[in-house]
Structure formats: structure tokens, C-alpha cells
Structure 1
Amino acid sequence: MSWILAVETSTEWCSVALGRAATDGALECFSRHEHTGARSSARVLPAVAEVLAEAGITLADCAAIAFGAGPGSFTGLRTACGVAQGLAFGADLPVIPINVLTMCAESVRSGTSPWPADTRVLVALDARMDETYAATFRWDAAAMEWSMETPVQVGPPETVAQPDGAFWLAGNGSTVFGERLQVAAQASRVMPEAMPDARAAVAIGLRALARGETIDAADAMPIYVRDKVAHTIVEREAIAAEKAEKAAKAANAAAGEAA
């Protein structure tokens, strides 16, 4: 019953989990999942120490270290990758990079039993810069793993494609973008609370470990799906001006109706 340590900091949450498969097949897990904003880098190592102490083991007792490889925040991905690499080098452990969107799909499945056959999970996460990260997943019962039916894409929420057949929508895209994420209206279920979580990374990592799908720490890399990671100052000013103009128009319209 191998232990896996998982680190996930691709969003504003610092998520750390330590888990293994129990004798009854359930997941035994110790975790910290905290909204830290930009402070994940300061919180992640103390959280690792806490879950190891709670389980009563050391890092050397683990079989591998999993990390949220992306897509996500540029700084957050580098934090998770760097922490995983550093810990793995120190303990001579392999690492398991995990797609962040797959974690969202896994979080949905872990809370649903039995899993409805042929149901897809469309994950749509806020990618900042007025865009979403999106991909569609299907649970392959024979392989006991997620199959990615569409590649990860980044773009305006209006461009997120609707999957074929019945699907559930996971991730905070529906909350952040509202009606602009038009596919939400067609989803059988909408679960904005299904976000990247290290506990889901443990479950995915244990299956990957059983298949021998680990890599050397030196080969660990974040997954980036766009080259541009932030708006320029000019772009931010233009966006602010556009928002101010819209707000002014709305206020003038409201004043006209009141008159």
C-alpha cells in the first residue's frame, strides 16, 4: 500500500495531500486545502510537513510525488513543479505530473456512485485574461482511467465547445463568466465547486503508479497552453477604460429610466 504525496498550486488554492489505497479499496488521505491567494509558495512546504506528521511517516516512506502540472497560473505551476522536484531529488523519488483539469473530473467522479455510463465531464476553469481553460473527459471503465476527448484549449468562454451526448460541467468557469459560458445551459449538472485538488491528484497518481507511469524528477515540466501569461500595461488600461465606459452607459441608462 504505497503512499503518494501530491502538491497542487495552479489556482488561488494551496492543496497538499498524502494518501494511499486502504485494504478495503477506499482512499486513506491526509490533506490541507486552503485559499492562500498568492501565498501558496510560503504555505506549501509547511503543509507537506503537517500531512506527513499526521500520517506518522517520512517523505522516504512515499513511493512517488505527484504535482499539478497545468494548465494554470504561471507562478503556481512553477511552484508545484519546483517543490515536487526538490522533494523528489532529496528523497530519491520519482514524480508524476498530472493534468490539472483531470483533477476536476476526478473530484466529480469521487463524489458520484455509481458513475453514469457515457457521461462526459467538461471542465472549464478561469484562465484569467478573460479566457477559460477547457477540455472534455470520459471515464473509461475498462481502463479505469480518464480519457481526454478534446485537447486542452484556452480562449474566450464563448468558444468552449459542447461535448457530444450528455455531459456535466465542472470548474469555476460557470461562476466567473456566467451566461458567457454558453455551454453551461446544456449541461446536465453544473459543479463550479469541482476545482483542482491534491486529493484527486493522489487518486490519479496511485493509478499511474500502479501502471508504472512515473518520470525522473529532472524531467518534470509544467504544462503551458499559451505563451502569453499576462496583459501588458496598455492592454490593462484599455480593458479598464472599456469597463468604465460600459459602467457609465449603464448608469446613464438607469438615470434616464428614473427620469
Structure 2
Amino acid sequence: MLVLAFDTATAAVSVALYEWTPGEGVRSRAVAEEAGTRKHTELLVPAVAAVLAEAGAVPADLSAIAVGAGPGPYTGLRVGLVTARAMGEALKIPVHGVCTLDVIAWASARQAPFAVATDARRKEVYWARYASAAERTTAPAVGPAADVLAGAEGGLPVIGEGAALYPDVLGTSGLGPEPLLPSAAALAEVAIARLAGRKGPDLLPPEPLYLRRPDAKEPGPRKKVMPA
């Protein structure tokens, strides 16, 4: 099974191609990462092409696509999901969404309770709490950084870009905030684990987890102008 994975839910574009062979395990075929960018539209498709070329594969070789479903900003998240659905329809292969917070949690490999927080802009974070890297205990949410630890007796370690942005609120555990951003490598591992019947975060429909309305709004009806 050859799985193409990519995530555009943060200020990064991450693409990976992973192969799973029953009895032989999982191996990485190619990875491309571009952090600190907002050019998701310009970078995603070339990155997918580069990863396939590096692995000596073509789109027809793919068995499934895994895509980050957010939560994340409207524009970047939409780029990844639309691309994944279009490729899946063209190739007639399944497309699976994975919560982006779950991808960061999985990459941490932590076995004790913690939280993940990413940048939601507007001085807010997207966040969720976890019992372990493979088990989320709260639904994804958006709000002030203080919400992440509200009611958590004794506090929790917090990882992700949100922890790095608000260390005065979330950086109280003494542990580093890494990993900061979702990686397509971890996304591919999550998808393969679940498709192989192993424990891990849930696979979702390839639909966006926005959690709040986009900034852009449709214009309302024009106001009537009365003659003087």
C-alpha cells in the first residue's frame, strides 16, 4: 500500500509518501517540508510531484491519500482538502482526513497526559487534550491560550506552535513545545496504523474542521439610497 499524505492547516506545507507492506512494516519513500510559508496554493502541487518523482512513483501507484483536516485557517486548510479530494476522485482511491492536532500528538510519542495547541491567530489557539499520543480526550476547540489548561489540576505539558507563542501561559511544564507543526510523515503513519487495524487517532472524512467562520463574508444587499 502506497499512501500519499499532506497537511496545509498551518503556516507550512508538508508532504510525504509512505509504503506499507503486511509482514514487512512501514517505510518512508520521500518527504518534502516547507515551513513558515503562506503560499500553500503555489507549493502543494509541486511538492506532491517532487515527492512522487523522488520515490520513482506515479499517481496511479497510490493506494490512498491522507490529508490534514484541521482545525486551521480557512484558506490554507481548503487548499489541502480540495487537492486531496480532486486527486482521490481522479484516481478512484480513498481519501482520509486526520485531525491536525492528532498528527502533532502522534509525532510526540508521549505516553502521559498532555495538550496540543496551534496558532489560530487573533490571539487564540486551536487545542485539544490527550491521554497519550494515540488517544485524544477532548474535542478540538478554539479560544484564548488560557483555555487549554483551564480546570487541569496540576497543569499539563503543552506542545505545538501555540505553546511556543504563549510560553507565559502554556510553557509551565518545563518540557519543550516540540513538535511545533504537523508533519506529513506522522500523518501517513497515523493513516497506515488505522488502515492496518492498529490503535491510533480516528480517520475522518476529508472535510474541514474550521471551528469558526472564515474572515471573508458574502456582501449583503445594497442599501437603498433615498432621493434628497
> How would you bin the TM-score normalised by the shorter chain?
0.7 to 0.9
- CA RMSD, 1 decimal: 2.6
5+ long unaligned stretches in structure 1: 110-114, 140-144, 231-259
For residue 129 of structure 1, report the CA deviation from its aligned partner. Answer: 0.6
1:173 and 1:192 in contact (8 A); partners too: no
Relative to structure 2, which stretch is displaced further, 190-199 or 81-90?
Answer: 190-199
1:21 and 1:28 in contact (8 A); partners too: no
Relative to structure 2, which stretch is displaced further, 30-39 or 69-78?
Answer: 30-39
Check 1:147–1:165 CA distance in 2 against 1; reply closer, same or farther (3 A cut).
farther
For residue 71 of structure 1, report the CA deviation from its aligned partner. Answer: 0.1
Counterparts of 1:18 and 1:153 in 2: how far apart (Å)? 30
| Partner residue in 2 for 1:154 | 142
Percent identical across equivalent pairs? 30
* Correspondences of 1:7-86 after superposition (within 5 Å): 7-21=6-20, 25-35=25-35, 37-86=37-86
For residue 164 of structure 1, report the CA deviation from its aligned partner. Answer: 6.0
Q: Secondary structure at the match of 1:70?
A: coil
Q: Secondary structure at the match of 1:204?
A: helix
2:117 and 2:127 in contact (8 A); partners too: yes
CA offsets 1:92-129 (integer angstroms, 9 cap, x no match): 110110000011111211xxxxx5x4x02310111101
Check 1:205–1:164 CA distance in 2 against 1; reply closer, same or farther (3 A cut).
farther
* Amino acid corresponding to residue 185 of structure 2 in structure 1: R
Counterparts of 2:46 and 2:214 in 1: how far apart (Å)? 31
Counterparts of 1:121 and 1:60 in 2: how far apart (Å)? 40
| Partner residue in 1 for 2:221 | none
TM-score (norm 2): 0.83
| Partner residue in 1 for 2:225 | none
Which structure: greater helix fraction?
1
| Partner residue in 2 for 1:254 | none
Structure 1 runs of 4+ off > 6 angstroms?
A: 212-215
User: What is the total number of aligned residue pairs between the two structures?
Assistant: 212
| Partner residue in 2 for 1:225 | 211
* Amino acid corresponding to residue 83 of structure 2 in structure 1: V
Alignment of 1:176 with 2:135, yes or no, is no
Q: Which has the larger radius of gyration?
A: 1
* Correspondences of 1:57-136 after superposition (within 5 Å): 57-109=57-109, 117=111, 119-136=112-129
* Correspondences of 1:247-258 after superposition (within 5 Å): none
For residue 174 of structure 1, report the CA deviation from its aligned partner. Answer: 2.2
5+ long unaligned stretches in structure 2: 217-228
Relative to structure 2, which stretch is displaced further, 221-230 or 13-22?
Answer: 221-230
* Amino acid corresponding to residue 43 of structure 1 in structure 2: L
For residue 19 of structure 1, report the CA deviation from its aligned partner. Answer: 0.6
CA offsets 1:127-146 (integer angstroms, 9 cap, x no match): 1011011101223xxxxx72
* Amino acid corresponding to residue 158 of structure 1 in structure 2: A
2:18 and 2:27 in contact (8 A); partners too: yes
Alignment of 1:195 with 2:181, yes or no, is yes
